[in-house]
Amino acid sequence: MEKLIYLYGLVPTEEAKEMPFPSLEGMDQNNPIYALYFDDITAFVCELPSDDYSEEMLKEKIEHDMKWLQDKAMHHHETLLFLQSHYTLLPMKFCTVYKSKESCRESIVNNKEKNLSSLQLLKRSEEWNIKVYAHTNSLKNYLLTHNETIQEKKEEITTLPPGRQFFERKKIERLIEEETEKEQLSLCDHLHSEISPYAAYHKIKNNWSQKITGESYSMCWNSIYLLSKNNVESFLKAISDKQTFYNKMGLNIEVTGPWPAYHIDTLRSEKDAG
């Protein structure tokens, strides 16, 4: 029975032939990663036993075996990081599996122009990520003395009878929460508007829960940027210039990259649609 083909990513063939690929373990640790050449595009793949990596088996593992999922997802990511460090890489999603070499070839050849266009863009571009974490108490303390809406409400309460003041103070606690959330979003929107012009493509993503991040503070912003390599230094400086002020406001900006361009198809399609 022909083995399944696990596809990690695509690189320009001219680069793949210039730098031979070292021996690395594949997804199942029994079959090595190797190159398949399709004219101008080279695919880095490994073979997998169909009994263990069928569509049904993968679905079962992904949904019910967290240890397996974490290990395999980390293997996929680390392999892509290695490929990216040596070649211009168009990464594939985790668990991109084909029934045969021929079906893998057909998919790559049928999308040849799109793949070549993406590889050309990635030769001169990098994907970066920004996450902002909120130290909420710090921002609340700042707003207590600087937010006009809160100040007006506090002054209004002092003119009320003592009985009314008790209930109004409960309302002001909710007001502070609301104003803090609004200020966080406003600051993040401002940051994004300042740095997004450096990017060819950008996207605001969903925030991650603290259970996922493992951080003691909540994430209030998550965005990705596809940058020309010529703009990376200016992009990073623009963020660095804002760090001190944002820290004072209780927001920590975390910038990481360059990453494998996981989001290039989404970024390009949204830009074209827009």
For the segment 74-98, what is each residue's pLDDT rounded down to a tens digit? Answer: 999 999 999 999 999 999 999 999 9
Given a cut of 60, whether residue 228 has pLDDT beyond it is: yes
Sheet holding 199-204, edge to edge: 199-204, 218-228, 125-134, 251-259
Q: Are 251 and 184 contacting, i.e. CB atoms less than 8 angstroms apart?
A: yes
pLDDT score recorded for residue 274: 46
Sheet strands (E) in the chain: 4-12, 34-38, 41-48, 90-91, 97-98, 125-134, 199-204, 218-228, 251-259
For the segment 95-142, what is each residue's pLDDT rounded down to a tens digit? Answer: 999 999 999 999 999 999 999 999 999 999 999 999 999 887 777 777
221: helix, strand or coil: strand
Kindly give, in sequence order, each residue whose CB lies less than 8 Å from that of residue 1, ignoring residues fewer than 6 positions away: 50
Rounded CA separation 5/106 (Å): 13
Query: What residue spans define the domains of the chain?
Result: 3-123, 126-272
For the segment 194-216, what is each residue's pLDDT rounded down to a tens digit? Answer: 999 999 999 999 998 877 777 77
| Nearest residue to 137 (alpha-carbon basis) of 184, 170, 191 | 184
What mean pLDDT do residues 33-50 have?
A: 94
What mean pLDDT do residues 55-78 have?
A: 92
Q: How does 100-129 read in b/e, with b if 16+ C-beta sit within 10 Å?
A: ebeebeeebeeeeeebbebbebbeebbbbb
Given a cut of 70, whether residue 41 has pLDDT beyond it is: yes
pLDDT score recorded for residue 70: 92
* Mean of pLDDT over the chain: 87
89: helix, strand or coil: coil
Kindly give, in sequence order, each residue whose CB lies less than 8 Å from that of residue 206, ignoring residues fewer than 6 positions away: 222
Given a cut of 90, whether residue 190 has pLDDT beyond it is: yes
What mean pLDDT do residues 177-193 have?
A: 88
Confidence of residue 166 (pLDDT cuts 50, 70, 90): low
pTM: 0.82
pLDDT score recorded for residue 159: 64
For the segment 240-274, what is each residue's pLDDT rounded down to a tens digit? Answer: 999 999 998 889 999 999 999 999 887 776 655 44
